[in-house]
């Protein structure tokens, strides 16, 4: 690595056919930060996360994760929670945990089991039988139990009731290593902004603002949620 960036996202344009989803987007992320990726529907958040994870290829531009392009090395250090579940609905929570433990050498099975207890889930239940919010908890447990360097969470807690969100957020932040970076796409800004160090505000495929939450609060006198509502007012 020639610099201290965990992720370099340089001059990325992504087109789906003739649709420009990202237009010359650049940002760099340092290790040890929690970044909120915020923007209206269709602004390009999921596209960014899929590009970083190597599920999509950029039309133009360059992505580097710890100095390397997305590939085998980056997949070993990225833990990704996609917007839709890909897990086998017929598997029990305990089976899914064992499956992940077999698949990822950085998976901490003890941490996963602790989180199952903390989030009041029954490991003998099949995913198929769980409510939407409890399914989300299971997916988060699986993703956060890896000792990854970069966590990419696409809308992680949309289905969880507001009272449980805080508890889940606390569980997340107390269970990842302090030099890891989390990038979280969400519409639940007021619920989650307390854990963000930085935010990237994106609109129609271009970055409106990338700054620390402290700077935003100092410079605008507003919370991120207030700023978002003002900037992206319909
Ligand atoms: N496979 C695809 N084919 C064509 N267009 C696509 C495809 N995937 C995304 N798009 C378009 O690219 C743009 C960005 O989509 P993306 O899913 O990245 O937005 P998003 O910010 O994650 O949205 P949301 O908040 O609604 O989840 C949108 O206009 C979307 O319609």
The model carries a pTM of 0.95
For ligand 1, the distance from its centroid to the CA atom of residue 94, given in whole angstroms, is 34
In angstroms, the CA 163 to CA 136 distance is 15
C-beta of 19 in contact with ligand 1 (< 6 A): yes
pLDDT, mean over the chain: 93
Q: Using the atom order of ligand 1, give the atom closest to the CA of residue 205.
A: 14
Q: What is the pLDDT of residue 54?
A: 95
Average pLDDT over residues 54-82: 95
- Say what percent of the chain tops pLDDT 70: 99
CA neighbor of 169 nearest in space, from 138, 140, 198, 145:
140
Domains of the chain: 7-85+149-232 (3.40.50.300)
In angstroms, the CA 118 to CA 120 distance is 5
Q: Look up tokens 């409890």; give the residue.
A: 134
Tell me the best of 38, 39, 46, 84 to mutate to test the pocket of ligand 1, counting ligand atoms within 8 Å of each CB and taking the most. Answer: 46
Q: What is the pLDDT of residue 2?
A: 56
C-beta of 171 in contact with ligand 1 (< 6 A): no
Position 134 pLDDT exceeds 70: yes
Write the Ramachandran bin of 196: left for phi over 0, alpha for psi from -120 to 50, otherwise beta. beta
- Closest-CA residue, ligand 1 atom 2, reads 16
Position 1 pLDDT exceeds 70: no
Q: Using the atom order of ligand 1, give the atom closest to the CA of residue 185.
A: 22
Average pLDDT over residues 212-228: 95
Res. 175 pLDDT band, cuts 50 70 90:
confident
Stronger pLDDT, 223 or 3, i.e. the higher one: 223
For ligand 1, the distance from its centroid to the CA atom of residue 183, given in whole angstroms, is 18
In angstroms, the CA 161 to CA 118 distance is 16
Strands 206-212 and 198-203: antiparallel
Q: What is the pLDDT of residue 163?
A: 81
In angstroms, the CA 111 to CA 229 distance is 37
For ligand 1, the distance from its centroid to the CA atom of residue 59, given in whole angstroms, is 15
Which residues 6+ apart lie within 8 Å of 154 measured at CB?
A: 45, 46, 49, 80, 81, 82, 83, 185
- Say what percent of the chain tops pLDDT 90: 80
pLDDT, tens only, 136-172 = 999 999 999 999 999 999 998 888 888 888 888 887 7
CA neighbor of 96 nearest in space, from 150, 143, 55, 156:
143
pLDDT, tens only, 88-127 = 899 999 999 999 999 999 999 999 999 999 999 999 999 9
In angstroms, the CA 38 to CA 186 distance is 6
Position 201 pLDDT exceeds 90: yes
Residue length, the chain?
Answer: 234
For ligand 1, the distance from its centroid to the CA atom of residue 194, given in whole angstroms, is 27
């Amino acid at each position: 690595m020639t610099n201290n960036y965990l992720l370099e996202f340089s001059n990325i344009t992504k087109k789906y056919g003739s649709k420009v989803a990202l237009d010359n987007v650049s940002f760099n992320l340092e290790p040890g930060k929690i970044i909120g990726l915020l923007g209206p529907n269709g602004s390009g958040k999921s596209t960014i996360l899929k590009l970083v994870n190597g599920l999509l290829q950029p039309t133009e531009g360059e992505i580097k994760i710890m100095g390397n392009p997305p590939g085998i090395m980056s997949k070993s250090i990225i833990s990704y929670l996609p917007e839709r579940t890909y897990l086998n609905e017929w598997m029990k929570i305990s089976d899914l945990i064992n499956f992940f433990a077999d698949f990822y050498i950085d998976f901490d099975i003890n941490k996963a089991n602790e989180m199952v207890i903390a989030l009041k889930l029954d490991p003998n239940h099949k995913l198929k039988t769980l409510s939407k919010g409890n399914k989300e908890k299971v997916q988060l447990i699986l993703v956060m139990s890896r000792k990854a360097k970069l966590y990419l969470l696409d809308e992680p807690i949309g289905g969880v009731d507001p009272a449980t969100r805080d508890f889940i957020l606390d569980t997340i932040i107390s269970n990842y290593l302090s030099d890891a970076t989390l990038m979280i796409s969400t519409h639940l800004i007021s619920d989650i902004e307390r854990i963000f160090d930085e935010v990237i505000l994106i609109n129609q495929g271009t970055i409106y603002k990338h700054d620390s939450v402290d700077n935003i609060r100092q410079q605008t006198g507003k919370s991120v949620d207030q700023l978002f509502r003002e900037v992206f007012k319909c």
